[in-house]
Amino acid sequence: MNLDLSPTPPAAPLRPKKLVAHGHTRIDPFHGLCKVKSAEVLDYLKAENAYAEAALAPVKPLQDALYAEMLARIQEADLSVPVKYGEWMYYSRTVQGAQYAVHVRKRITPTGWEASPEEILLDENVEATGKAFYEVGDYEISPSGRFLAWTEDTRGQRSYRLRVRDLQRGRDLKLAHKGVVSLSWAEDEGLHPEDPRPTLFFVTEDAQTKRASQLWRQGPEEVQPTRLFEERDERFNLFVARTRSRGLLILTSTSHTTSESRILPADQPRGRWRIVVKRRAGVEYEIDHHSDKLYIRTNDVGPNFRLIEAPLADWQPANWVERLPQRADVVLEGVDLYRDWLIASERKGGVPQLAITHLPSSETHHIAFSDPAYVVDMEDLPEWDAPILRYTYESLTTPPSIYDYDPLTRQATLLKRQPVLGNFDPAHYASERIEARATDGTAIPVSLVYRKDLARNGQAPLWLDGYGAYGIVNDPWFSATRLSLLDRGWVFAIAHVRGGGDLGQAWHEAGKLEDKRNSFTDYIACAQTLIQQGFTTQGRILANGGSAGGLLIGAVLNLAPDLFGAAILEVPFVDVLTTMLDPSLPLTVGEYEEWGNPASKAAYKRMLSYSPYDNLAARNYPPMLVEAGLHDNQVMIWEPAKYVAKLRTLKTDSNPLLFLTSMAAGHGGASGRYDALHERARQIAFALAVLQPAEPSESTAP
């Protein structure tokens, strides 16, 4: 152990409160930490930061070395792959030493576009000047290319302000709105000579609950935006977008289990929005458009979704034609439509695949990939008649790569692979996908990566990542920073536990509500399987998860603390019951479909049984690093703060418990790329310090 634990940990202000529900009483000893704006609480957070920094001081040289090592792998000055839209090629670039991207374009001429002068559309570094945090949310160019609408967050709260820029005149318009969640231009640009702006639709969130609930229209002839629609069901959020065909605007209202869509011709912004299919509990669907047809991806007859084609003139169910059926072994995750092509993003056995259909002939083929586990996603090309498709591909051993794919010749051309500088060679690393056996016999996939020269003697330290909620897939992604672990003899693994979407909607259903405990026991089974197969041993596993993944790790540490040698919890959702009992908090009501409504006694007792904060006990816990953001409005800062404060009073070991709060960020951590790299270096330095790994391999260390 290389940490300095001689300083005395800070004591949180003790402000107990009696909490009573369903005849059951809880005493929350640190309820006062909910007053996050008070000087007392802010002083406590600063004291925790000072204590953590003092404890980490002995490994600060290691952290700095890791930062330099990871930075040396990054091509700091870089360009994205250009994308054609209208008369321009759009791309972004990064500049050495600058935290943020610069968004630019070049005009296409008869001789090409490369020699055209570059036009800067948005320099995030300029906009971020004087701000501790800066993040761009939505970014939309108008159909003619004259106007740019974007949203920005300057506090880390994921609450975005709308801005609009006239690119022709090089000035910002006096059009701003707070709390904008999504936006889309209509197709009426230039129809009003006195004001050339097209109509802009945007969705805003409720200031308190942060729920996307109102649709607005800002027309060129409107002095102020007009509110068109409000979603009053607190479980639902709104999202507005335009189809790639540019024929329709779509307003989607969705909860965790149910959805409803409205459509509007994109060239008739003052027209009437029409519901496609009225919401029905448990039925989700998505809409796309092609010429005189609607395409509907829906789970109305099964959890793995099917694809329906319906006439735009009359899309009633009696006129539906099934293009892709519900399949028991294949999940239809999404559909992309172009003029001549339909691309189905599918998942079979937890592994993604792309099915390409030529619409004029209805002929279908699949793109084959070789890695045992990987991530593949269609790129959102804006050109409707694009003859070439584009996808991104990465795996645990392959950096993110962008391919152009000719569906006629079935040839893929690599356009760009994320540069990893130094002597990185993917041939030095091995990737596997194995299965653990859950307590009920279910096979749980585990993706893992390690150096091929790893001594498989059961002594390697292992980083076990987990999430398992909301049906979100925890994909086997590539990380250049992870190489600093692998080259020091670590194994990195992802536990694809139930509750996520790794094997489809049924996988999600099997790890939520009354089945939530499956997520925790699955994760433990994955850890045990990795031990049994000789990758590591008890006490050499670092458990890691963020947000709902932090709930997973917090619950697992209460169930099997001796199994793990360390844990890193990032913005962890650990005070589940208290949060879910407060419908005034952001996200709470919408989350009832994931966790349950504790107004029900059965749901209350179920959440009480696993809530990490409520189940902390007088036992040994492994070394822990807990990270949080002061401006987080998804997991309030008081959740991890209370968790750490209570754990300090209960744990019976002398292991380090460090709590670090970013005072300028929220749920996603630091916004600048260099700041984020410093945070990652700190995590890895902590991991190396507490699990005493081997030195990096001489053959591959930078």
Active site residue 377: no
* Neighbour tally for 682: CB within 10 Å: 24
Asked whether 271 and 278 are in contact (CB, 8 A), the reply is no
Give CA–CA dist 441/699, Å, rounded.
Answer: 42
Which entry of 92, 547, 662, 671 is annotated as an active-site residue? 547
- For the packed helices 60-71 and 673-691, what is the interaxial angle rounded to 10 degrees? 130
Taking alpha carbons only, the member of 270, 275, 233 closest to residue 254 is 233
Which entry of 255, 632, 662, 671 is annotated as an active-site residue? 632
* Neighbour tally for 47: CB within 10 Å: 15
C-alpha distance from residue 507 to each of 445, 496, 515, 603 (Å): 11, 10, 11, 20
Active site residue 667: yes
* Neighbour tally for 694: CB within 10 Å: 14
Give CA–CA dist 258/684, Å, rounded.
Answer: 40
Pairing outcome for strands 566-570 and 624-629: parallel
Give CA–CA dist 193/187, Å, rounded.
Answer: 15
User: What's the order of all strands across the beta sheet hosting 171-172?
Assistant: 135-141, 147-153, 161-166, 171-172
Taking alpha carbons only, the member of 11, 3, 194, 1 closest to residue 645 is 11
C-alpha distance from residue 376 to each of 201, 381, 445, 471 (Å): 31, 15, 18, 18
CA 451 to chain centre: 27
* Neighbour tally for 556: CB within 10 Å: 28
Strand partners, 412: 405
Give CA–CA dist 345/320, Å, rounded.
Answer: 21
C-alpha distance from residue 283 to each of 258, 320, 486 (Å): 5, 16, 43
Active site residue 547: yes
State phi, psi for 229 to the nearest 5 degrees: -155, 145
Asked whether 88 and 114 are in contact (CB, 8 A), the reply is no
Give CA–CA dist 256/209, Å, rounded.
Answer: 16
Q: Where are the beta strands (DSSP E) in 552-696?
A: 566-570, 624-629, 657-662
State phi, psi for 79 to the nearest 5 degrees: -125, 145
Strand partners, 161: 152
SS in 3 state form for 539-563? CCEEEEEECHHHHHHHHHHHHCHHH
Which entry of 31, 289, 496, 667 is annotated as an active-site residue? 667
Which residue's entry shows tokens 């704006």? 37
Catalytic residues: 547, 632, 667
